[in-house]
Structure 1
Amino acid sequence: MKTARRAALLALPLALLGFAAPVQAAETSTTHQLTCRGQGVDPAAKIRYRTERLIDAPMSTIYRLQTDVERWSSWQKPVTSAERLDHGPFRSGSRFRWTTPAPATPTTPETTLVITSTVHQVQRNQCLRWSGPAIGEGLSIDDGVHVWNFRRVPGGVLVQTEETWTGAQVEADVPTATKFLGMGLETWLDELETTAEARPC
């Protein structure tokens, strides 16, 4: 399954959120921060992760999967529910609420995070940027900022993503929070690749 290509693009292990070995290392460099319409993740955040994947599928399929929020739970196992809080096209100002399990840590119990995201920048088939808080029992993220870039390259579409978290609770254990952020993003890309490549062109 494109083993050599994936290895060249991604030197990090893939893991299911909370159910597999931890990510061994996170990309924390801000040298080439991903942006959408000139805006990126929080440059001051202590918790950040960046990764990418080459997906052999049409751009339209990948972009549609990413922006059809209400169908996320049909292809992303860690997303247990998702709903749009507005109507119409996915655009700047759109809001959505979604839930995902957060595994237990030495200081927090297993919980369900309720995330309310607001879209800030959109450029069709090129980039997305949204942010919002995540609230769970004993765990909260004050603000998560998430940027996606999509670029046609030989062999498919290069999907790049970067996310930052801020908040006293997650910043109390930066390595663990970074590990779980990384695991979540790697799983998202893994399932996006599987789903997009399985769709008929």
Structure 2
Amino acid sequence: MSTNRTRFAALTVSVATAAAVLAGNVSAAQAATARQPGPAGLTCRGAGVDPGAKVRYRSEILIKAPLRTIWSLQTDVERWPRWQKPVATMKRLDKGPFRKHSQFRWTTPVPATPVSPPTTLVITSTVKQVKKDRCIRWTGPAIGKGLRIDQGVHVWTFEKVKGGVLVRTEETHAGEQIESDVPLATQFLGQGLEAWLSALKTTAEAGHQR
């Protein structure tokens, strides 16, 4: 592996939870079973991920907890650091309920590697579409020393099914740097999203059992 590829592997991470991957909080088995997105993209109020983005990933998980619990965890963004270890800081940039046009800025650290210094991704997200208990779509850039994602688009959907709630998620990344190695970027994006889904499931189900 070349130095450039090693640096890219160390720094190309999910906007959500890739620090968990780099810190060893996601097992090798989880990373190995990362799934590719299906042919039909997720949407919220008719809008989906970036159709032109080369880096994309989609996954889903069944959570055995009430929809209101899952929705509250996902939309109370200021509480993310309490159940998502990779989220170091979080700040709402507006007041009031989580709604269309809500903005929040959050950070996630990326540890040092043999070829790169430690950095912190600063992500500024804007809610573009939302439908209570049904779906969320937000967009925004992620910027850190040695890493830049010009535009991320993230869609979440929530569906009551037998046995719980099916949570689906799809995300795309666009930008010259992030697209320099699409397979590798997709792999790390997938690992991050799988970790987020796992944390959401663990937290929601644990809260429901209390």
- AA matched with 2:195: T
Specify every segment of 5 or more residues in structure 1 that has no aligned partner in the other structure, as ranges: 1-14
1:169 corresponding residue in structure 2:
177
Alignment partner of 1:40 is 2:44: no
Mapped contact 2:34–2:194 kept (Cα < 8 A)? no
Closer/same/farther in 2, CA of residues 104 and 41 from structure 1, 3 Å limit:
farther
Q: CA separation in 2, counterparts of 1:33 and 1:129?
A: 12
Mapped contact 1:23–1:182 kept (Cα < 8 A)? no
Specify every segment of 5 or more residues in structure 2 that has no aligned partner in the other structure, as ranges: 1-18
1:12 corresponding residue in structure 2:
none
Equivalenced residues, count:
186
Q: CA separation in 2, counterparts of 1:106 and 1:24?
A: 26
* Structure with larger RCO (C-alpha < 8 A, sep 6+): 2
Q: CA separation in 1, counterparts of 2:40 and 2:140?
A: 23
**3-state SS in 2 of match to 1:131:** strand
Instruction: Give the drift of 1:77.
Output: 1.0
**3-state SS in 2 of match to 1:197:** helix
**3-state SS in 1 of match to 2:177:** helix
Alignment partner of 1:28 is 2:32: no
Q: CA separation in 2, counterparts of 1:148 and 1:106?
A: 35
Provide Cα deviations, 1:126-173, integer angstroms capped at 9, x if missing partner: 000000000000100000000000000000000000000001111112
Residues 185-196 of structure 1: pairs in structure 2 closer than 5 A: 185-196=193-204
Instruction: Give the drift of 1:108.
Output: 5.5
Question: What is the aligned-residue identity percentage?
Answer: 63
Closer/same/farther in 2, CA of residues 103 and 28 from structure 1, 3 Å limit:
farther
- AA matched with 1:195: T
Q: Normalized per residue, which structure has more helix?
A: 2
Provide Cα deviations, 1:42-70, integer angstroms capped at 9, x if missing partner: 01101000000000000000000000000
Q: CA separation in 1, counterparts of 2:48 and 2:181?
A: 24
2:155 to 111, 135, 147: 147
Q: CA separation in 2, counterparts of 1:192 and 1:41?
A: 21
Q: CA separation in 1, counterparts of 2:97 and 2:43?
A: 21
Mapped contact 1:108–1:139 kept (Cα < 8 A)? no
Residues 1-201 of structure 1: pairs in structure 2 closer than 5 A: 16-18=20-22, 19=24, 20-21=27-28, 22-29=31-38, 31-102=39-110, 109-200=117-208
- AA matched with 2:167: V
- AA matched with 1:63: W
Instruction: Give the drift of 1:23.
Output: 3.9
> Which shows bigger deviation, 54-63 or 19-28?
19-28
- AA matched with 1:134: A
Q: CA separation in 2, counterparts of 1:172 and 1:73?
A: 31
